Structure 1
Amino acid sequence: LYIDDDPALRRLVSKEFERHGYSVQLAATGEEGLRRLRAGGIDVVALDHYMPGQDGLQTLASIRADPDAPPVVYVTGSEEGRVAIAALKAGAADYVIKDVGGEFLALLRVAIEGALAQAKLQREKEEAEAEVRATRDRFEALAAERAVLLREVNHRVGNSLQLVSSFLLMQSDMSHDAHVKGALASAYGRVLAIAQVHKRLYTSDDVRTVALDSYLHALVADIGASAAAGNGWLSLAADPVAVDPDRAVAVGVIVTELIINVMKHAYPSGKGPVRVALHAPSGSDIRLCVE
């Protein structure tokens, strides 16, 4: 769209650009140009400064008020550098100075081609950013859905294992065979160790790690509650340590086996203090003690 009140220059610009493959729309005033813009289908605007009624800067402001407006190349007189600067500050993509040497049309074509290329790059940049945002939103939604699913799986598995451990404990209490009772007690402890890991996972925001100190506190409390040795016989002192779930299960099974062995061999009567300690003297080493 070329907006200029000079009819001869409008015809000249139209012929020149149509010769180079452009489809040119013409407007004699700023108001007429704005009406044509509102009709749509305009890729770039060349806008003259001096026009009757609404001048170029006023028209430029109206064009730029539309967030989807096409780029504007501002056309000024040869002595109007100050006006060109004002147009650039107002949002023009480029400016061309009318001259008497015949370079105006060539310079205008170069400026328009540059404005079109710049607008294309800007659109591609915005589309790429929008795709990045959409991908990030999809990833966050999938991650949230996966976290909910993992918590639900851990919750169901944990509940099932708690139920199995309760059956084992009940069966152990019903048996009068010492060997059977011992085997069931060992199985109970192992199942309980795994169940506590799943319980920690479904109550945690991070399913990649387990707080080993909190896990052992819950495990020791469950073992202590299930034994008939009275209160206060089993204690734990643990430093804050985070490990992966598989390692937590291994540590839990080891602690359970050691406690059962202590109860079986150190205290044949089933009574006596047992102390569990977990210390992390350095960032990579963990020391576990059951005594």
Structure 2
Amino acid sequence: MALGRVLYIDDDPALRRLVGKEFERHGYIVQLAATGDEGLRHLRAGGIDVVALDHYMPGQDGLQTLASIRADPDPPPVVYVTGSEEGRVAIAALKAGATDYVLKDVGGEFLALLRVAIEGALAQADLRREKEEAEAEVRAARDRFEALAAERAVLLREVNHRVGNSLQLVSTFLLMQSDMSDEPHVKAALASAYGRVLAIAQVHKRLYTSDDVRTVALDNYLHALVVDIGASAAGANGWLSLAADPVAIDPDRAVAVGVIVTELIINAMKHAYPRGEGPVRVALHAPAGNSVCLCVEDDGLGSRLPPAEGSTGLGQLIIEAMAVKLGAVVTVHARDPGTRVVVDFMKAEAKRLVD
């Protein structure tokens, strides 16, 4: 098997024959050219792995030929050969793109040095080719990953869209059933269920309208949730308000926060103002760091109100369950008038902060 295909360009016929025999003896396939134009014709016919190029030639000299070689789309490495001992020639060749250079006038070592230079040029070309192939594989793998990630994001948005629509439909059915019932306890239970389903549906709506399906803008989510809950209360007008700092959170934790807010608003609606409506304020604060403070407060009866007849305590159980899911601390402040509930939690779970 040939070690490589060498093109040697030199106007000295004796030296051309000598180089050809020497390299063929060492296992190379050699093509010879007397001028730069002839060498370029050989080169553009294809199959050349490395070029050895003399500097002094009639017509087009070595540097001009080198420039033509380097202008090709995928040029082979070039070893520059010169009989001049002036460093300017070698430097000019290297600047023009030559891989290495060899001087002719070094006694009987010229052929050995030329062979070493050509072996080095071929080795560099192999390394460059392997590097380019590896980089191409990395780019192809990255492109495949990005395409899969984009496809996955589209599928997730589609799933969230369908889930959100289904939950919105369920919540509408619950609200319709509540409106049609004449039993106060049934109406209250269905209205509570409506609010819980709505809290989850809003998360999925946030996800399928977002460019990032991994996080939910909690402030935007709570704003939409408060608007929906406020609009569902008959005759309500501005009784429910929200002040929220920008907070990004993962969808599972957003659901837990939304359910807690919904339950606290429902509790305030049922217990704080038994004779009519009053203000309920929701606030979300995110000071520096990972901590978040959620507050829901009213100006109602607070601790002076006796437990509601027929109350199952389900809302409180749901709040406690969601607080555990969040790793939150829930504090109830009874005031006169009103009640203030504070929920302190972290934007992300502790284990995620270490990642």
Q: Which stretch shifts more, 37-46 or 122-131?
A: 122-131
Cα 1:157–1:20, aligned 2, differ >3 Å: closer, same or farther?
A: same
Q: Which stretch shifts more, 49-58 or 213-222?
A: 49-58
Instruction: Please state how far the C-alpha of 1:270 moved relative to its aligned partner.
Output: 4.5
Q: Which stretch shifts more, 276-285 or 36-45?
A: 276-285
Contact 1:229-1:271 at 8 Å conserved across structures: no
Instruction: Please state how far the C-alpha of 1:82 moved relative to its aligned partner.
Output: 2.3
Cα 1:49–1:285, aligned 2, differ >3 Å: closer, same or farther?
A: closer
Return the alpha-carbon distance in structure 2 between the equivalents of residues 236 and 168 of structure 1.
Answer: 25
SS of 1:166's equivalent in the other structure is helix
Query: Which segments of 5 or more consecutive residues in structure 1 lack a partner in the other structure?
Result: none
Return the alpha-carbon distance in structure 2 between the equivalents of residues 177 and 100 of structure 1.
Answer: 111
For residues 240-271 of structure 1, give each alpha carbon's deviation from its aligned partner in whole angstroms, at most 9, with x where no partner exists.
22221111111111111111122222222442
> Would you tell me which structure has more strand in proportion to its own residues?
2
Return the alpha-carbon distance in structure 2 between the equivalents of residues 27 and 175 of structure 1.
Answer: 101
Cα 1:83–1:161, aligned 2, differ >3 Å: closer, same or farther?
A: same
Return the alpha-carbon distance in structure 1 between the equivalents of residues 58 and 269 of structure 2.
Answer: 103
The alignment of Structure 1 onto Structure 2 pairs a total of residues equal to 291
Return the alpha-carbon distance in structure 1 between the equivalents of residues 41 and 109 of structure 2.
Answer: 30
Contact 1:229-1:270 at 8 Å conserved across structures: no
Q: Which stretch shifts more, 141-150 or 96-105?
A: 141-150
For residues 58-104 of structure 1, give each alpha carbon's deviation from its aligned partner in whole angstroms, at most 9, with x where no partner exists.
21111111131111111111434322222111111111111262000
Return the alpha-carbon distance in structure 2 between the equivalents of residues 282 and 109 of structure 1.
Answer: 67
Q: Which stretch shifts more, 146-155 or 243-252?
A: 146-155
Return the alpha-carbon distance in structure 2 between the equivalents of residues 282 and 99 of structure 1.
Answer: 74
Which of 259, 263, 266 is the matching residue for 2:265? 259
Return the alpha-carbon distance in structure 1 between the equivalents of residues 8 and 266 of structure 2.
Answer: 91
Contact 1:44-1:116 at 8 Å conserved across structures: yes
Q: Which stretch shifts more, 18-27 or 74-83?
A: 74-83
Cα 1:217–1:122, aligned 2, differ >3 Å: closer, same or farther?
A: same
Cα 1:7–1:288, aligned 2, differ >3 Å: closer, same or farther?
A: same
> Would you tell me which structure has more helix in proportion to its own residues?
1
Between the two proteins, what is the percent identity of the paired residues? 90
Return the alpha-carbon distance in structure 2 between the equivalents of residues 152 and 100 of structure 1.
Answer: 75
What TM-score do the two structures reach when normalised by structure 1?
Answer: 0.94
SS of 2:107's equivalent in the other structure is coil
Query: Which segments of 5 or more consecutive residues in structure 2 lack a partner in the other structure?
Result: 1-6, 296-353
Q: Which stretch shifts more, 147-156 or 34-43?
A: 147-156
Contact 1:229-1:272 at 8 Å conserved across structures: no
Instruction: Please state how far the C-alpha of 1:209 moved relative to its aligned partner.
Output: 1.5
Contact 1:155-1:199 at 8 Å conserved across structures: yes
Instruction: Report matched runs for 1:10-25 at 5 Å.
Output: 10-25=16-31
SS of 2:284's equivalent in the other structure is strand
For residues 190-227 of structure 1, give each alpha carbon's deviation from its aligned partner in whole angstroms, at most 9, with x where no partner exists.
10000111111111112221111211111111111111
Return the alpha-carbon distance in structure 1 between the equivalents of residues 115 and 37 of structure 2.
Answer: 24
SS of 2:108's equivalent in the other structure is coil
Instruction: Report matched runs for 1:61-140 at 5 Å.
Output: 61-99=67-105, 101-140=107-146
SS of 1:46's equivalent in the other structure is strand
The Cα RMSD (Å) is 3.3
Return the alpha-carbon distance in structure 1 between the equivalents of residues 83 and 94 of structure 2.
Answer: 15
Return the alpha-carbon distance in structure 2 between the equivalents of residues 91 and 126 of structure 1.
Answer: 18
Instruction: Please state how far the C-alpha of 1:282 moved relative to its aligned partner.
Output: 4.1
Task: Indicate the residue corresponding to 1:227 in structure 2.
Answer: 233
